[in-house]
Structure 1
């Protein structure tokens, strides 16, 4: 894995650099996830175009370090990622953001100079289940969630069933990171982020499950986005149909 120190104590951001090329597509995972595990089956799929791909685990997640002194809200994570990308010396990038990670990718795309070549959002935002889950986290104090709430939530998700793949990266996430990112995700979700997306003057795409409602599809096309639908999946496209997601990303990288 590649590494980069993201604070003065040399805590490390870790990422995978997959496929050769000049301009990488940077994968920003959702809350409780990790790009190094979520998207490796996608970028190694025979349906993937071979675009240079950076699978980055955000601080507090996956293989990256998890200092208790860091800030894990979406704004702080966005700023840190911009500094990291600048440090690599690449001249251009594209951004991919899933779920809560879509808010981070959107924040980056609006302020980076030069702007990304493309912005691809995958099931952006949080659905009703996600909102209820995040609200159950933030109903506690930060200290309470860290002390007992996180472990209780992991057990709850195990008992619910259907979360086996997600629980892999979730249970090794920093409870502090989960809490602070949950707070900022709820705030981001309430803002008019779709209007911000519509005003963004770059190539844009949104990837959704093929059971997305016509209203959902239309609101993204009105925002100037190319929309791709992936069959046989739910909110977690990379888990449910990595080959289908690989094909959709590849088409977007070609057409956008």
Structure 2
């Protein structure tokens, strides 16, 4: 585990740094999750070249600190991940984000295109409104959710694997993140994704289709790869399928980069 102290937040952000050669891959998790639980087995998968991988826990989640005054918006989390990359002297990384982490990754790519060579997002939050998990959380009062709503949610979830990850999240961070996803941002991640000039790919699970946002993304000219036998929890539902799709996305994006025969 490695860490960086963020003076503005008076908090540490932490990540796992897996060694390797070649392009650096940076993984960013979704709401209530951790990058280690969701991406360690993907980063080490035989379908991918054994490059260096950073498994980043966003503030409020996993091993990272939980600053009480942080707003936990996607733009703010993106700035924190950018600070990690600046601290490590990294640029031109392969950035991979799932769900909320996909929105964070899009904001990072738009704000700091110098840091990102290729972007892969898996069922990211593209527009305001939230999802099946974030919307019920955001509908509750923040203090009430912290006091009792979080515990009730843990008690009734039907996915033990998600409960295991959720227990590592800070309730207030979770609520503020959910509110931010429901409220959305201006510009929206979907509009930012459409305007990005770097290679980008959208991954979606078979069980998540049909989805009008996927059709909209395809209309932007963003390649879409469907992962069979997977719903929103793609890396856990079908790890082999996710890793294979990620390798395909990165390979195709590599071919489109200047100097690799792309247009």
TM alignment of 1:85-164, pairs within 5 A? 85-125=85-125, 131-157=131-157, 161=158, 163-164=159-160
Which residue in the other structure is 1:12 paired with?
A: 12
**Residues 132 and 220 from structure 1, CA distance in 2 versus in 1: closer, same or farther, beyond 3 angstroms?**
closer
Deviation (angstroms), 1:136: 2.1
Deviation (angstroms), 1:97: 1.1
If the length of structure 1 is used for normalisation, what is the TM-score?
A: 0.89
CA distance in 2, matches of 1:224, 1:109: 17
State the secondary structure of the residue aligned to 2:125: coil
Match of 1:252 among 215, 238, 249: 249
User: Are the aligned partners of 2:61 and 2:168 in contact in 1 as well (CA < 8 Å)?
Assistant: yes
CA distance in 2, matches of 1:113, 1:190: 18
The more displaced of 164-173 and 46-55 is 46-55
The more displaced of 11-20 and 209-218 is 209-218
Which residue in the other structure is 1:35 paired with?
A: 35
CA distance in 1, matches of 2:226, 2:122: 10
TM alignment of 1:72-87, pairs within 5 A? 72-87=72-87
Deviation (angstroms), 1:11: 3.0
If the length of structure 2 is used for normalisation, what is the TM-score?
A: 0.87
**Residues 200 and 18 from structure 1, CA distance in 2 versus in 1: closer, same or farther, beyond 3 angstroms?**
same
Correspondence 1:181 to 2:177: yes
Which residue in the other structure is 1:226 paired with?
A: 223
**Structure 2: 5+ residue stretches without partners:** 254-263
TM alignment of 1:50-69, pairs within 5 A? 50-69=50-69
**Residues 131 and 229 from structure 1, CA distance in 2 versus in 1: closer, same or farther, beyond 3 angstroms?**
closer
Correspondence 1:195 to 2:186: no
State the secondary structure of the residue aligned to 2:182: helix
RMSD of aligned Cα (Å): 2.4
State the secondary structure of the residue aligned to 1:208: strand
User: Are the aligned partners of 1:78 and 1:104 in contact in 2 as well (CA < 8 Å)?
Assistant: yes
Higher relative contact order (CA 8 A, sep 6+): 1
